[in-house]
Structure 1
């Protein structure tokens, strides 16, 4: 079984287990902190990942529940792909290391564009209520 298929199966299992989702979020957060922000692509990757993490955290806490099961599985898949150490292009290779991770994150973010837009609007509205 190839990497993508293995991660997809793990994402389906993880998406229904709060403990595993929390572990995935923690691992993704740690790896995200280590990303250098020396290029526009890495800044954009970091931004997309931060949104996916916030979406998952809000869903997990029950604060925002407007995602379908398939959207949650896609988000978890993206995070698992990001944190899985076995890549087509190893992460330690400068400028190329996150290429496959970035491709998956951007592809899933594009697929979830409507969910992301609604979530960001919800976040903005929520922030406006606390001011």
Structure 2
């Protein structure tokens, strides 16, 4: 539980620093690529993380500002938890190492369901306008 508290504190600090958020996005993207290369079983986790990453990127760029601060912190927490190798179940443990990462991401995605739906609608409108 102590590790989760430390990750939460790091997420809160990261959420207010654009450079740290960008660094977290880069690290999460790199880890996500490695994870996706290693297994097809992680495709659902990959898609959940990708939407969270797009949400933060759109927020950072100023294109989409409809998130409450609490949602931004939760998204950053999910990303920081995902990239932290020594969380509740260390990532170096084969097969089990990413299960806690997946659990945290899925829990946060469920909690942010309304924000995600609104964001996806906004994305669809943006894509339609671009055509």
Question: Cα offset for 1:89?
Answer: 2.2
Larger helix proportion of the pair: 2
Please list every run of at least 4 consecutive aligned residues from structure 1 whose deviation after the TM superposition is greater than 4 angstroms. Answer: none
Question: What TM-score do the two structures reach when normalised by structure 1?
Answer: 0.94
Question: Equivalences for 1:1-131 in 2 at 5 Å?
Answer: 2-35=2-35, 36-39=38-41, 42-131=42-131
8 Å Cα contact 2:3/2:88 also seen in 1: no
The answer for unaligned runs of 5 or more in structure 1 is none
Aligned length: 129
Cα displacement (A) at 1:123: 0.4
Deviations 1:30-89 (A, max 9, x none): 1000113421xx111000000000000000000000000000000000000000010222
Check whether the contact 2:14–2:21 (CA below 8 A) recurs between aligned residues: yes
Distance in 2 separating the partners of 1:37 and 1:123: 28
Moved more, 114-123 or 94-103: 94-103
Backbone CA RMSD of aligned residues: 1.2
Q: TM-score, normalised by structure 2?
A: 0.94
